[in-house]
Every structure is written in C-alpha cells, then in structure tokens.
Amino acid sequence: MDVINRSTFDTLIQYRGWPCASIYLPTHPGGFEGQTGRIRLRNLLDQAEEQLVSRGIRPVEAHEFLLAAHELVGNEVFWRNQTAGLAVFISPEATRPFYLPSPVAELAVANSRFHMAPLLPLVDQASDFYIVVVSENRVRFLEANRWHASERPLPDLPANAKQALHYDHPSDTRQFHTAVLGAGMSKLGAYHGSGNFFEQEKSELLEYFRVIDRALHPALRDQRAPLVFAGVDYLFPIFRQANTYPHLADSHVSGNPDACSDGELHAKAWKSIARDFETPKQTALARYAELAGDGMKSDDLRVILDAAVQGQVETLLVNPEQPVWGKWDDAQHRLRVDAERRDDSNDLVDLALAETLARRGAAYCVSSAELPPGKQCEAIFRYSLSPSAR
C-alpha cells in the first residue's frame, strides 16, 4: 500500500488522461465500523460509474474500468489494515489505493485528471523531514512527515560507535562509551578530570559524526527537507560541527534515544519543528494582506482560474474543504458556478489548485477563518494583471 507524501502528491496532480476516477472515504480498522468502509467504497464506485456513463462511457466499459477497485471491497487483508481514511485513484494504467492518516469526506469524482484538493491538508502538514538518531549503541536514519516515520537503511551508515571508529576490543571503547555516550554523559570531563581527555573524546566524537555525515550524503543529496538530530544534549553542537547538510534543524530531540521507539522519536521531532513548516504559509498570508489592489492579488475565483491556467499564480491560499462546483470554459474565460453539483460539474477550487501546482506555483491550506467571508481561495500573482484580466 502506498503512502501519500509530497512526491506522490506532485506525481498524481500532474497526471492527465480520460477517464480518471478519484474516491475518498473515512475508514476504521477492523470490527463492525471497519465493515462500513466496504459499503461506502461500493456506493462511491457506483457514483463514479454513473458519472462516467453520464459523460459518454458505455456502462459495461465503465464497470470494467472500475473492476480492480471493486475487488478491494472483498479483500480481507486490505480492510484489516485500514487507518483513518482511504483514497483510491483509478486510471487506465492502474488502480492505486492509499491509506490516509486522517479522515476525509466521502467523495467520488470522474474527470480527466485526479481530484487532489482533499489531500492538500495532509501534504501541506506532512512536509518531509529526516531524523538522524545517534547513541553509543545504535545509529538510525528515519524518513518522516507529519504523520509517520520509517527507518531507511543506508549502506554506509555505521551500526554504532564501535563500528564507526573501527575498535576491535571492548576495552578500546570503555572510556569513550562511559564518559561520552554512556550513563555518565551529563558529567563529561568530570569522569576523568582531564581537559586533555575531553579533547581526545571530542575528537573521537567528531570522527564518529563525520562517518555518519558521509553515510547520509547519498540520501540527502539535492534535498531541502530539515534534518533533525536525536541524541543527548551536549552531542548536538559536536554533531553540528561535523554536519555538512545545509538544512540541519536548529532544534533537536533531547535525551537518550535508545529508550525511544521510532514512533516516539517521530512525535518529538515533529513537535520540535512543526512551527517551521507553518512559516511559509504565514508569510504568504502576511504578504497577501500587505499587497495593494494593483493587480497583484485577488480573491475572485474567476480571476484566479484565468490566471492559474496561464501560469500566473505564484501562491494560492485555499480551503480545500469547501468545494465549489461548476464549469470553467478556458477558451471563453467564462465561469459557471452551480448551486448544486451537476453531471458535468467540476470542483473549481480543485481546478485552481491543480493548475497552480502544475505550473510550479505554491499552494497552502488555510481555514475558512483565514479567508474573507464567502471566499474559498486567495491568490498572489507573479506579476500585475492587466485591468481587463481582473
């Protein structure tokens, strides 16, 4: 089962082809509540089939197109491992289900692209980051986002300090382990009472951390996601000295990590850097508020859609939980907003999001309280729009 991360999201949002179907539903792991997921999925697939037929596909072909997704309904293992939500993306090439870490509203959409707006809150909060976990006995490298973390084996990452420093006998590491990384780690230097010893141990630590840093290079090359250090407090400045990755987080996970599971380390790491991921959105909101009415911004959906399809939207602030059903005529630059969803309706908020991201714009998830009353999105443009385009 695939997971949704930023890379997967970007791949899905770029896909174009007819037909496509996107299914969203809340789920529960096991038990009676778990059985309701099967019913929801079956009903949503029926809705998707009706939409496909209404848009010109023969009923037998529409059913065949959705057959692999229908087979999920009876898959016992599939339903046993559910989380809080489920997304299923169906195209002629593949049917791809994704477990989601939080609930989503029921929705079925047939279109010539995948419907991605419900996932924006997940990937917006699920910005990727990394955790390097260091102790005497073990080194771990975790790939993480807002919702989960998993250990990634790296070929050259040492298993522990002994392997990194090529010690052959336990006696070689007695002082290093006890004074620097062992139970007495809060009293570095006091253990032997020697400044020279402190410098020797610091030198060994630097070498240990440099070995780790070199092992991380292949995984972190060309990346920009934060790297969080997890280890006892006084090791962090030394690790920072050895580190060559430019996006090492200023904060770290404090304490002996040997007693922590990956899940516990993930929760602590996210808590330490969560605010950093909010900064770009808050900066965009502040910039929107500061811009004058000179064609550099708009909260008019027609203007935003027109600009988005032309690649003029630099930043989109959008509430994906409030779809606006209607039709956008790109040739005529004409917008139709429907009071109720119709057979040929599309979610115009999702369209604005897709067109913005497909043309390398940025998008951030905001709440209705952060938008003007009655508005679903705001946009900052790459350059001032002409009066006729506003």
Q: Evaluate whether residue 18 is within a structural domain.
A: yes
pLDDT of residue 197: 54
123 contacts 9 by C-beta, under 8 angstroms: yes
Q: Domain boundary at 276, 308, 330, which?
A: 276
Name the phi and psi angles at 195, rounded to 5. -65, -35
Q: Evaluate whether residue 284 is within a structural domain.
A: no
User: Does pTM top 0.85 for this prediction?
Assistant: no
Residues 250 and 343 in one domain: no
The pLDDT tens digits for 65-79 are 999 999 999 888 888
pLDDT of residue 30: 63
How far is residue 69 from each of residues 246, 272, 375, measured CA to CA in Å? 43, 39, 35
The pLDDT tens digits for 200-244 are 788 899 999 999 999 999 999 989 899 999 999 999 999 999 999
Q: Evaluate whether residue 282 is within a structural domain.
A: no
Amino acid identity of residue 261, one-letter, is S
* CATH code at position 150: 3.30.420
Separation between Cα atoms, residue 2 and residue 99, nearest integer Å? 7
Separation between Cα atoms, residue 202 and residue 205, nearest integer Å? 5
Q: What is the mean pLDDT of residues 282-308?
A: 93
Residues 270 and 296 in one domain: no
* CATH code at position 313: 3.30.1330.30
46-50, 144-148, 226-230, 325-329: lowest mean pLDDT where? Answer: 144-148
The pLDDT tens digits for 344-357 are 899 999 999 999 99
**Which is higher by pLDDT, 358 or 127?**
358
Mean pLDDT for the chain overall: 88
How far is residue 216 from each of residues 121, 144, 207, 219, 257, measured CA to CA in Å? 30, 15, 14, 6, 19
- In this structure, what token pair is assigned to residue 334? 């004409």
pLDDT of residue 388: 63
Q: Evaluate whether residue 317 is within a structural domain.
A: yes
**Which is higher by pLDDT, 337 or 278?**
337
**How does residue 124 score in pLDDT terms, banded at 50, 70 and 90?**
confident
Q: Is the bond preceding residue 19 a cis peptide, omega within 30 degrees?
A: yes
Strands 139-144 and 149-151: antiparallel
List, as one string, the DSSP characters of 208-261.
HHHHHHHHHHHHHTT--S-EEEEE-TTHHHHHHHH---TTB-SS-EES-GGG--
The range of the structural domain enclosing residue 104 comes to 2-116
The pLDDT tens digits for 374-390 are 899 999 999 998 766 66
Q: Evaluate whether residue 122 is within a structural domain.
A: no
The pLDDT tens digits for 130-160 are 999 999 899 999 999 888 899 999 999 999 9
